Structure formats: structure tokens, C-alpha cells
Amino acid sequence: NAGVTQTPKFQVLKTGQSMTLQCAQDMNHEYMSWYRQDPGMGLRLIHYSVGAGITDQGEVPNGYNVSRSTTEDFPLRLLSAAPSQTSVYFCASSQPPAYTGDQETQYFGPGTRLLVL
């Protein structure tokens, strides 16, 4: 199993450009999430999905879109990049029930480091 994979690992964008961050998992997990990590702020949830065809907003969804057409893939789209979106982005997956405290684990990808100029 490759686990959770993310591409690209690093990207530089100009303000106003759009791009898609790719995320894939081969563990047949139902739950997938996108986080951004900024210094001193921990992980903040952008969007999440509880299954194919179902997505919902997290804490900081503005400026980002997601879709979940398959169980394996959960791409994150930046519609018009802004310098405030400079961050490290992590995709995570887990099996339900993800949040019942019964040892269910979120598996994280290696991250995409995004710089918006």
C-alpha cells in the first residue's frame, strides 16, 4: 500500500493563478480531509468528505473547492490563488467512525508546500 499520496510536493504560483492539488489513497477509506498547516496555528480543516459524492466545508473553506467522484481521489482546487494561501497542505484519510476515539487513525500524506507570490 502506498497509503496517502499527494502531488505536487512543492508549487509556486502567482496571485490569481489556479491549480489543483492532488490527493489519492489506496486504503479504501471513506473519510478524506484537506488541512492547511501554518506556523503557530496547527492544522486547520479546509474541506472534508465522508464518501464519494459527499463533501462539506471545514473551518477555512473560502477560496478552495473540492470534489469526490471516487473513493480514492480527493482533489483540492484553488480558484484564484492569493498570498494568504501560502501554506503547507495535507490530505488525510480514515475509516469511519473517524472520530469515536476507538483507535481509528487519520493517515496523512506527505504534504504540498505552496508559495503564492
Partner 1 sequence: TQLLEQSPQFLSIQEGENLTVYCNSSSVFSSLQWYRQEPGEGPVLLVTVVTGGEVKKLKRLTFQFGDARKDSSLHITAAQPGDTGLYLCAGVLNYQLIWGAGTKLIIKP
Residues that bind partner 1 (CB under 8 A): 4, 40-45, 90, 92, 99-106, 108-111
| Shortest separation between residue 53's beta carbon and partner 1, angstroms | 20
Of 90, 82, 74, the closest CA to residue 18 belongs to 82
Smaller CB separation from partner 1, 17 or 37: 37
Cα angle: 109, vertex 114, 115; to 5 degrees: 165
| Shortest separation between residue 72's beta carbon and partner 1, angstroms | 18
| Shortest separation between residue 103's beta carbon and partner 1, angstroms | 5
Smaller CB separation from partner 1, 33 or 71: 33
Strand partners, 24: 5, 73
Instruction: Report the first-to-last Cα separation within the chain, whole angstroms.
Output: 36
